[in-house]
A and B are shown apart, each in its own frame.
Chain A
Amino acid sequence: GAVVSQHPSRVICKSGTSVKIECRSLDFQATTMFWYRQFPKQSLMLMATSNEGSKATYEQGVEKDKFLINHASLTLSTLTVTSAHPEDSSFYICSAKKPGFYNEQFFGPGTRLTVL
């Protein structure tokens, strides 16, 4: 299989706090994971590419100090939204590339972040 999980599925936090979202590949090792953001009624926007053991590559316009990405192992990538503000409220989806499945990504179920 190729299962990707995210935790938590839903989080509500106060403005100014930091929130960590985990993305795990459950039955395969993923050297590369991706983080997307989705606004209501809109498509997915790639935020960054997370490579195991190295720094993430951020898309243009995405603040790397705001959205900290760590890919410390072959099955786990984390996205930390630092000093969250209401405008950071969104649906965050991760995906992982499985070795041998070239040009295909396997998506997690998403995390709904609400910043009050």
Chain B
Amino acid sequence: AQSVTQPDIHITVSEGASLELRCNYSYGATPYLFWYVQSPGQGLQLLLKYFSGDTLVQGIKGFEAEFKRSQSSFNLRKPSVHWSDAAEYFCAVGRVESTGNQFYFGTGTSLTVIP
């Protein structure tokens, strides 16, 4: 079985501080990993993805994530958070099914940024 765990339901950081959002997965093969951001009432925006190769992945808006196979983790980081980063963040694992690719989403981490 595959699952995605985001241990932190809610995180509050000060503007300008660094950020790390945790994501752990359980999957029997090489995972395809994604981070999405969702603003209130909006759809999902892809921040970054990992398929293979370099385990440190750069994304949009200054985000990066590192795939660590030994820890089954794909944590999202940003060195300096901006107020506009306040949103819901979802980690996802993708795999190929007979019907095509399917996603398994984590429960999400809500980010609050304080001035």
Count contacts on B: residues with CB < 8 A to the other chain. Answer: 25
Binary interface profile of A, 86-113, with partner B (CB < 8 Å = 1, else 0)? 0000010101010000111101111010
Alpha-carbon gap, A105 to B101, bound state (A): 8
Binary interface profile of B, 39-55, with partner A (CB < 8 Å = 1, else 0)? 00111101001010000
CB of B105 within 8 A of CB of A93, answer no
Residue of A nearest to B97 (CB): A49
Shortest Cβ gap from B40 to chain A (Å): 10
Q: Which of A40-48, A60-68, A74-82 contacts B (4 or more CB under 8 A)?
A: A40-48
**Which residues in chain A, 31-76, are within 8 Å of chain B measured between CB atoms?**
31-32, 34, 41-44, 46, 49, 51, 57
CB of A104 within 8 A of CB of B105, answer no
Q: Is B100 an interface residue (CB 8 A)?
A: yes
CB of A102 within 8 A of CB of B101, answer yes
Q: Is B72 an interface residue (CB 8 A)?
A: no
The majority secondary structure among interface residues of chain B is: strand
Residue of B nearest to A91 (CB): B41
Interface residues on A, range: 20 to 34
Q: Is B103 an interface residue (CB 8 A)?
A: yes
Alpha-carbon gap, A43 to B100, bound state (A): 21
CB of A104 within 8 A of CB of B43, answer no
8 Å CB contact of B100 from A97, A107, A108, A109: A97
Residue of B nearest to A49 (CB): B99
The verdict on A107 contacting B108 (CB below 8 Å), with A32-B99, A34-B102, A49-B99 known, is: no
Alpha-carbon gap, A109 to B110, bound state (A): 19
**Which of B46, B94, B103 neighbours the largest number of chain A CB atoms within 10 Å of its CB?**
B103
Binary interface profile of B, 63-106, with partner A (CB < 8 Å = 1, else 0)? 00000000000000000000000000010001111011111011
**A contacts, CB < 8 Å to B:** 6, 31-32, 34, 41-44, 46, 49, 51, 57, 91, 93, 95, 97, 102-105, 107-110, 112
Known: A103-B94, A110-B43. 4 other contacts (CB 8 A): A6-B43, A31-B100, A34-B102, A104-B34
